[in-house]
């Protein structure tokens, strides 16, 4: 998956600002391009376990989807952080995954992003396959 450096930088900044909690958002790109050019922040509404779980605020999801549509953008996927854990999908991530969208995970150790990886669920609820990230 092609991801603009600016979009990846925005995700990293969001993760570092949100540490030690998981952060989340949507990945957007020009309609039909298959290239992520924007990272739209969403609120993590998980109040019970915000350090190792995320739930995208439904109102944020709807607002971002509508704005993307109005601006000729596709929702290409979702991103979130793993504070002090690897940038690999967890069982919880798989349980909530839909087949098709890109899932980008950044590892944020002690407040600094150290890794980023992308995945696509092969079917709803996983398993995931690695998706190479190409900065472009």
The mean pLDDT values, 10 residues at a time, for the chain of 136 residues are: 97 98 98 96 96 96 98 98 97 95 98 98 96 94
How do beta strands 102-109 and 73-83 pair?
parallel
Q: Looking at residue 13, which CATH number applies to its domain?
A: 3.40.140.10
Torsion sign across C-alpha atoms 33, 37, 41, 44: positive
Structural domain range at position 50: 2-135
Dist. CA 71–CA 68, nearest whole Å: 5
Active-site residue, 22 included: yes
Say what the pLDDT of residue 55 is.
96
Cα 44–chain centre separation: 12
Model pTM above 0.85: yes
What local confidence, expressed as pLDDT, does residue 16 receive? 98
Give the count of beta carbons closer than 10 Å to the beta carbon of residue 113.
20
Q: Which of 17, 22, 109, 131 is catalytic?
A: 22
Q: How many CA atoms lie within 13 A of 122 on its CB side?
A: 4
Measure the CA–CA gap between 34 and 51, rounded to whole angstroms: 31
Nearest CA among 45, 36, 54, 35 for reference residue 93: 54
Structural domains in the chain (count): 1
pLDDT at 71: 98
């Amino acid at each position: 998956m092609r991801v603009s450096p600016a979009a990846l930088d925005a995700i990293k900044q969001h993760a570092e600002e949100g540490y030690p909690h998981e952060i989340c958002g949507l990945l957007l790109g020009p309609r039909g391009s298959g290239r992520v050019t924007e990272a739209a922040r969403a609120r993590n509404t998980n109040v019970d376990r915000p350090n190792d779980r995320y739930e995208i605020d439904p109102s944020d999801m709807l607002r971002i989807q509508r704005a993307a549509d109005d601006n000729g953008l596709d929702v290409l996927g979702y991103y979130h952080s793993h504070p002090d854990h690897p940038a690999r999908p967890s069982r919880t991530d798989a349980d909530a995954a839909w087949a098709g969208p890109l899932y980008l995970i950044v590892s944020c150790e002690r407040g600094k992003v150290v890794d980023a990886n992308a995945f696509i669920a092969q079917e709803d609820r996983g398993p995931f396959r690695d998706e190479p990230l190409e900065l472009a």
